[in-house]
Structure 1
């Protein structure tokens, strides 16, 4: 890959976002389509695990739900490695400093290795304790602990993938992560089937398949970035000040992500109160919801890269053009995906479980997800615009405020039983109604208020 020119891996432009609306739309699609396909491949890791493990039994699927919540939290809290790096790298690229762009990205890579090793230890050693925090049955807890002990080994690879993907997105390259994601997903499916069914390793086999696939992806992406750094003469050794700056700059996004993960953990904890069947169904719905979130996030990724590049070049009008376009597209995409979910809601659960109780509980929750998808489309995309602008402190404050208002209310209502509506056939559906109409709505209002103002559009190589 060559920054600012042609390569085997594609073109990485170092020019401002096109000024004309048609050019802006083409540029968004150029980045968003590969990003969409890559993001679809990422949650397919969990979808594949759920499909393979689900047919082992309810306890295994419920255990995977608990373990996945822990792992997604452990990896998800460090998503700033991708989002923050994209903004910083894109701003340097827009300012005409590709060497500084890659150097900043390498600081994030070194940071990801340190954080990944620490996270692996923090998850693997007390795996049984983590598994028991959700109130699931003994059988589900045992399965969750087994999965966690193995899957924690993949956390360093997961975080490296996040960091390097962020570097490439900032360099306006979304095709390389796509190629890597497709290869990783394909390998993950093959390894899952081999280990779980061929070798009879059960839920541990699914965890091993994911670990090996994620680690392979990390190695491949690191090779790509190191080659770019060598060509540009960027320093490849860890620079303490740069790594520290990357860590400090990521704190607001860490806070934002912790608040988001806390919201999903609250929903999992409430679902566990309804029994293992409801918890297993919740795992299915949460997996699909995460899949849809990643799919909608493709527009947000394009917005991050283009907004950061425009503001780095001092082009506020270009940034606003991108923001307005992706906001509209986000709502439309949410409507389309919502219609699809509504159409498959009655039967979607059968792909993950043959238990009629699990399938029935999931069906009602899917309807609730479908109704709120247009709102999710707006939230994910505008969130990406503000990340690309580096407006991370405001994002952190807004996310925490939404959680503080929503979480106590939903926990209180769930304890009263009847207060969570089951209008779609199950209490789990009521929980997802409150998540969409409560938490996501609060986020939408806050993002809309910030988006319509001028405080986020700060120009320069650094915010």
Structure 2
């Protein structure tokens, strides 16, 4: 049992309550509830802290500067999302290699995986930082023609781009600890960074009057603080105030092992591409929303921030699945790996149901916090988008839960393709139909051999945006779960297990 089992945290207790209810119903094993919860709840808390931080950023900027600033930060959002696509991709390879090596007690190979991940994320992210610094206005201008929003978005992007390498390293450090069965320490570091971010933003935005630039600087500095904490803890084996780390990494070892770098790229590239789908999809989505007007853009940005908070169970259960399934695969126990995966999918969906219900009840009250006036026309639009998100996010539990074991096994191409299809085959086209005001064609449906009158449906309008949320999650959920059911991921994992790495050497 993990050391965090005795931590009297309300998040942990709430998740345990859900898990034990499922166990009493005979849907999952009670022992797996405890171990999964001990890995998942710290990551969920980290997600809540970081997503709440993002939401607070938007609320602060909206309150201090106005709707144009919210739109500007929203337009810069997908560019900043590149940091998490890059870092998340490398970190996806990191957790797969670390968890399997940790389960097999292959400590030397584990250290090599961490050093290689560090080098790879820095090399890939530096060109992105350079582009954001040199041409921020041109980049934001690709999405919108709103001059005020472009100017504010460019100011934000130029500064926040300095944090891209640190955001990637932050993710890698977190995945190392989660893969080594210690999500609690990772939570302390990253949630602490989120708290630092909120405090700095309050000082920079309201105290010094720096507006969107203050929000960007707070994000950069908070990531620097978190990366420094991970670096000290992993190289020394402990961090003052947080105790011992589960692994100690020699910073002076080999960083350029071709086999390890190849494995990181093979596993991580589809993970990064999957994250990139979300980011890239925001570009056409925001351009489409720009047709609706500034208030709709701001409403969508608000709804996505609230969506981020609702989606935090997936952070925990996805990584718990990757870690626990990976550890079982590392010991060649495929039956236990599949059992963990199946239980975590059910656990994840149940937790998403609770999360969505709570947000739906409070949606109207939450949305008001993001506007500079309770009479803002963006508020009712955002509220309805949040209701749509509450329905769609439940299917995210299936999608993310099924992707966890695939990621642990190195079978990362299918989750990427499913997300690609969900966004560009479903979500974006539906949003476009809404913006274009197009009608679904009238049809005549034969019924018992008699033709019924054609039914002309009204223009989609905002319904296009509501359905876009649903398509974004339902398509990946169906594909990822179908792939999990085939069991092919277990065979694929054999290529990345410690004994396979040793054979390559």
Asked if residue 111 in structure 1 is aligned to residue 120 in structure 2, the reply is yes
What is the aligned partner in structure 1 of residue 70 from structure 2? 61
CA offsets, 1:107-162, max 9 Å, x none?
A: 10111222232221122211001111222511111100000011111111101101
Q: Which moved more, 1:71-80 or 1:223-232?
A: 223-232
Matching of residue 345 in structure 1 with residue 353 in structure 2: no
Superposition map of 1:63-462 within 5 A: 63-228=72-237, 236-241=253-258, 242-243=260-261, 245-355=263-373, 356-406=376-426, 409-410=429-430, 412-419=432-439, 429-458=462-491, 459-460=493-494, 461=497
The answer to whether the 8 A contact 2:433-2:464 is kept is no
Candidates 48, 52, 57, aligned match of 1:44:
52
Report deviation, 1:305. Answer: 0.3
Q: Secondary structure at the match of 1:342?
A: helix
Separation in 1, partners of 2:249, 2:304: 42
Cα distance in 2 for residues equivalent to 1:338 and 1:233: 43
Distance in 2 (alpha carbons) for counterparts of 1:438 and 1:182: 31
Where does residue 16 of structure 1 map in the other structure? none
Question: For the Cα contact (< 8 Å) 2:91–2:268, is it kept in 1?
Answer: no
Give the paired residue count: 444
1:203-256 deviation line (CA, Å, top 9, x unaligned): 111111111111111111112222249957685342252445423442222222
> What SS does the corresponding residue of 2:105 show, helix, strand or coil?
coil
SS at match of 2:372: coil
Unaligned runs of 5+ in 1: 11-19, 421-425
Q: 1:150 to 1:412 in 2, by over 3 A?
A: closer
Q: How far apart, CA to CA, are the structure 2 residues paired with 1:236 and 1:230?
A: 15
Cα root mean square deviation, aligned:
2.6
> Structure 2 vs 1, CA of residues 359 and 427 (structure 1 numbering), >3 Å: closer, same or farther?
farther
Summarize the Cα distance change of 1:233–1:123 in structure 2 as closer, same or farther, 3 Å threshold: closer
Structure 2 unpaired stretches of 5+: 8-27, 238-245, 441-458, 501-505
Q: 1:139 to 1:232 in 2, by over 3 A?
A: closer
State the TM-score, normalized to the length of structure 2. 0.82
The alpha-carbon distance between structure 1 residues 150 and 390, as it changes in their structure 2 partners (threshold 3 A), is: same
Which residues in structure 2 correspond to 1:21-32 (within 5 Å)?
Answer: 21-32=29-40
- CA drift of 1:390 comes to 1.4
Contact 1:338 1:372 in 2 (8 A): no
Deviation per residue, 1:358-410 (Å, 9 max, x gap)? 11110111111112222122112212221122111232333334344225632
Contact 2:322 2:407 in 1 (8 A): yes
Give TM-score, length-normalised by structure 1: 0.89
| SS in structure 2 of the partner of residue 78 of structure 1 | helix
Where in structure 1 do 4 or more consecutive aligned residues deviate above 6 Å? 4-7
